[in-house]
Amino acid sequence: AQTVTQSQPEMSVQEAETVTLSCTYDTSENNYYLFWYKQPPSRQMILVIRQEAYKQQNATENRFSVNFQKAAKSFSLKISDSQLGDTAMYFCAFMINNAGNMLTFGGGTRLMVKP
Partner 1 sequence: EADIYQTPRYLVIGTGKKITLECSQTMGHDKMYWYQQDPGMELHLIHYSYGVNSTEKGDLSSESTVSRIRTEHFPLTLESARPSHTSQYLCASSSNPGETQYFGPGTRLLVL
Q: Does 36 bind partner 1 (CB under 8 A)?
A: no
Torsional sign, CA 36, 68, 66, 25: positive
Stretch that binds partner 1, among 57-65, 67-75, 77-85, 106-114 (CB under 8 A): 106-114
- Restricting to residues 71-100, name those near partner 1 by CB under 8 A: 89, 91, 95, 97-100
12: alpha, beta or left, given left = phi > 0 and alpha = psi -120 to 50? beta
State in angstroms the smallest separation of the CB of 3 from partner 1. Answer: 12
Q: Does 112 bind partner 1 (CB under 8 A)?
A: no
State in angstroms the smallest separation of the CB of 89 from partner 1. Answer: 6
- Restricting to residues 48-67, name those near partner 1 by CB under 8 A: 50, 52
